[in-house]
Amino acid sequence: MAAGAAEAAVAAVEEVGSAGQFEELLRLKAKSLLVVHFWAPWAPQCAQMNEVMAELAKELPQVSFVKLEAEGVPEVSEKYEISSVPTFLFFKNSQKIDRLDGAHAPELTKKVQRHASSGSFLPSANEHLKEDLNLRLKKLTHAAPCMLFMKGTPQEPRCGFSKQMVEILHKHNIQFSSFDIFSDEEVRQGLKAYSSWPTYPQLYVSGELIGGLDIIKELEASEELDTICPKAPKLEESVEYETFDILEDEEVRQGLKAYSNWPTYPQLYVKGELVGGLDIVKELKENGELLPILRGEN
């Protein structure tokens, strides 16, 4: 890219330096899609995403792109629950409509293009969307006997409260599925109203809200948690299995590595098909997928 073109692209991304300036921008850009990048100068991934935004600004002149230093305007960051950078917020009609956490250039591009191509909704359409969202939230809360809505995943929690919740559930051998509320801004905001519970994590049993971390800690202390939440069945009581000691047969030990294209042991097979090694089995167990696989249901 020529120097002049690069400067023009960067110039298409405005920079906001105060809360007042941000609120004024929301008002001025109310009729268009506004994309705000909460960034930090010390984070290299933010610099990369600024370049992505500059390219998008060239391709989509009808969209307004703004960058805001998260630590420089803390009141705005706190208002919109910005806990990490880069984070992108999407606004239409001065209202936040979507969010993206992390340096995911393809996902940013997809979201910008989708929101740029969709028009504003009439009030009657908004009512219909709210109905559809409530149906979706009902399905999600009933997706498993025990559902945890958290920031991140059980393997990689993205806040201390979610991490503590996962640790408690694992400690009590509770079988649960989870939903990463960072993956869907509509669900993240909608569930707060649906459940009348403003924070995360949230734990549901049979579609009913049990509560957040403080409630779960109280239930644990009173020994009620084990009676409310479904237990994960013990594998040794559910699945019959046989073992082979690969140290007894060097030919099998070396040959199975090539046969399965898997260089390490242990290796787990179900109906002659390789499931994986220890890391994969641990991941399947945490996701609640292991037992159905071992039973041959998947």
Each residue of 114-159: pLDDT tens digit?
888 875 444 444 555 556 888 989 999 998 889 999 998 888 899 9
pLDDT digits (tens, 9 = 90+) for 175-224: 888 999 988 888 998 998 899 888 999 999 999 999 999 999 999 999 99
Between CA 165 and CA 261, with CA 290 as vertex, the angle to 5 degrees is 120
Average pLDDT for residues 6-14, to the nearest whole number? 54
Average pLDDT over all residues of the chain:
85
Confidence of residue 11 (pLDDT cuts 50, 70, 90): very low
Query: In sequence order, what DSSP letters do the residues of the chain get, joined into one string?
Result: --HHHHHHHHHTEEEE-SHHHHHHHHHHTTTS-EEEEEE-TT-HHHHHHHHHHHHHHHH-TTSEEEEEETTTSHHHHHHTT--SSSEEEEEETTEEEEEEES--HHHHHHHHHHHHHS-PPPHHHHHHHHHHHHHHHHHHHTSSSEEEEESB-SSSBSSHHHHHHHHHHHHTTB--EEEEGGG-HHHHHHHHHHHT--SS-EEEETTEEEE-HHHHHHHHHTT-HHHHSPBPPPHHHH-------GGG-HHHHHHHHHHHT--SS--EEETTEEEE-HHHHHHHHHTT-HHHHHTT--
**Percent over 90 (pLDDT), the chain:** 43
Q: Inform me whether the pLDDT recorded for 8 exceeds 80.
A: no
Average pLDDT for residues 50-79, to the nearest whole number? 91
Confidence of residue 263 (pLDDT cuts 50, 70, 90): confident
pTM above 0.75, yes or no: no
Q: Inform me whether the pLDDT recorded for 69 exceeds 70.
A: yes
Q: Inform me whether the pLDDT recorded for 272 exceeds 80.
A: yes
pLDDT of 12: 72
User: Which of 160-174, 200-214, 224-238, 252-266 is the least confident region?
Assistant: 224-238
Confidence of residue 279 (pLDDT cuts 50, 70, 90): confident
| Residues in Cβ contact with 84 at an 8 Å cutoff, skipping those fewer than 6 apart | 101, 102, 158
Average pLDDT for residues 38-45, to the nearest whole number? 92
Average pLDDT for residues 103-117, to the nearest whole number? 86
Q: Inform me whether the pLDDT recorded for 266 exceeds 90.
A: yes
The answer to whether 46 and 71 have CB atoms below 8 angstroms apart is no
Strands 64-69 vs 13-16: parallel, antiparallel or unpaired = parallel
Confidence of residue 289 (pLDDT cuts 50, 70, 90): confident
